[in-house]
Amino acid sequence: MQPARTPVFLCLNRGVRGGQGGRKRTRGKPMGFVELLLLAIGLSMDAFAVSVCKGLCMKRLNLRQATVVALFFGGFQALMPLVGWALGTQFEQFITPVDHWIAFVLLALIGGKMLWDAFHEDDEELSCPADGKLDLRELVMLAVATSIDALAVGITFAFLRVEIGPAVSCIGVITFLLSAAGVYIGGAFGDRFQGKAELAGGVILVLMGSKILLEHLGIIAF
């Protein structure tokens, strides 16, 4: 295995490789780079939408604040799948016979919730601090809230032959970049992209879950 260079190159060059420790597995093909990239984009849509809201609160676009927001969201989005993966490995022997169904249900539920939120946006006004400063405690709460879905996905990583290091690096980097972009989009264009982001993320996750299930059932093969 080549040594890692930077998280970005981990994401772009290494992708996901199958198997661990030479153990034989009877599951479907390992998750490929394109699938991981789409999954990372889908998971990051909640963080993107919230980042757009944070951008709306900024009286002037601020690179430092945008970086802080992106670091919080990207960091937690990378941490949660790692926690889920660690939990999933503890119960792998019990989960393996139905792993494809679990992956499908989790991704379908997460994606379905994002689709529901996209079509049922509440009309609450955005609460912005008068001085325009970031509330770090609020950022932690938002980062945890937007990354809970990633914890559930991390559980599926434990039995989908995913190399966890490159996977969480890719998810973290993609979320960081999209969150930073969201802050600037919110400051420049308002919240017109927020609902569309959640809609796109929901569709991606539902399709990913369906593909995993259909591959394991032998209905499709890529």
* Alpha-carbon span 145 to 118, nearest angstrom: 16
- Whole-model pTM: value is 0.67
Region of residue 22 (left: phi > 0; alpha: psi -120 to 50; beta: else):
left
Please check whether residue 155 lies inside any domain of the structure.
yes
What mean pLDDT is reported for the chain?
A: 75
Q: Is residue 6 part of a domain?
A: no
Average pLDDT over residues 46-74: 85
How many C-beta atoms lie closer than 10 Å to residue 2's C-beta? 7
Residue 109 within a domain: yes
Inform me whether the pLDDT recorded for 43 exceeds 80.
Answer: yes
What per-residue confidence (pLDDT) applies to 131? 57
- Does the residue 64 lie in any domain? yes
146 or 100, which is more confident:
146
Q: What domain range includes position 147?
A: 31-120+138-216
The reported pLDDT for the residue numbered 79 is 95
Whether 153 is covered by a domain: the verdict is yes
Confidence of residue 175 (pLDDT cuts 50, 70, 90): very high
Residues above pLDDT 90, as percent of the chain: 15
CA 142 to chain centre: 14
How sure is the predictor about 28, in pLDDT bands with cuts at 50, 70 and 90?
A: very low
* pLDDT single digits (tens) 140-161: 888 888 888 888 888 888 877 7
CA distance 158 to 164: 8
Tell whether 193 is covered by a domain: yes
Highest mean pLDDT out of 106-115, 131-140, 179-188: 179-188
Q: Which residue has the higher pLDDT, 184 or 10?
A: 184
Number of domains in the chain: 1
**Is 145 part of a structural domain of the chain?**
yes
Q: Taking residues 122-143, report their average pLDDT.
A: 68
53 inside domain: yes
Q: For the residues 28-55, what does the mean pLDDT come to?
A: 81
